[in-house]
Amino acid sequence: MISQNARGDEELAQVWATRLQQWGVGGLLPFAVDILRPFGFLGAQALHLLAPVLTTFSSPAAIDRLASLLESPESLDRLSDAIASGAAGSEDQEML
Taking the C-alpha atoms of residue 23 and residue 38, their distance in angstroms, rounded to an integer, is 24
pLDDT at 49: 93
**Domain-located, residue 53:** yes
Q: What are the contacts of 44-51 at 24+ separation with CB within 8 A?
A: 44/68, 44/70, 44/71
Is the torsion defined by CA of 6, 21, 84, 69 positive or negative?
Answer: negative
Kindly indicate the confidence band of residue 75, based on its pLDDT and cuts at 50, 70 and 90.
Answer: confident
State the total domains in the chain: 1
Buried b (16+ CB within 10 A) or exposed e, 54-87: beeeeeeeebebbbbbbbbeebbebbbbbbeebb
Taking the C-alpha atoms of residue 81 and residue 86, their distance in angstroms, rounded to an integer, is 8
pLDDT at 90: 54
Domain membership of residue 83 as a residue range = 29-89
- Give me the mean pLDDT over the 21-31 stretch: 77
Residue-wise pLDDT for 46-65, tens only, equals 989 999 998 898 889 988 98
Residue-wise pLDDT for 7-25, tens only, equals 777 888 888 888 878 878 7
pLDDT at 96: 42
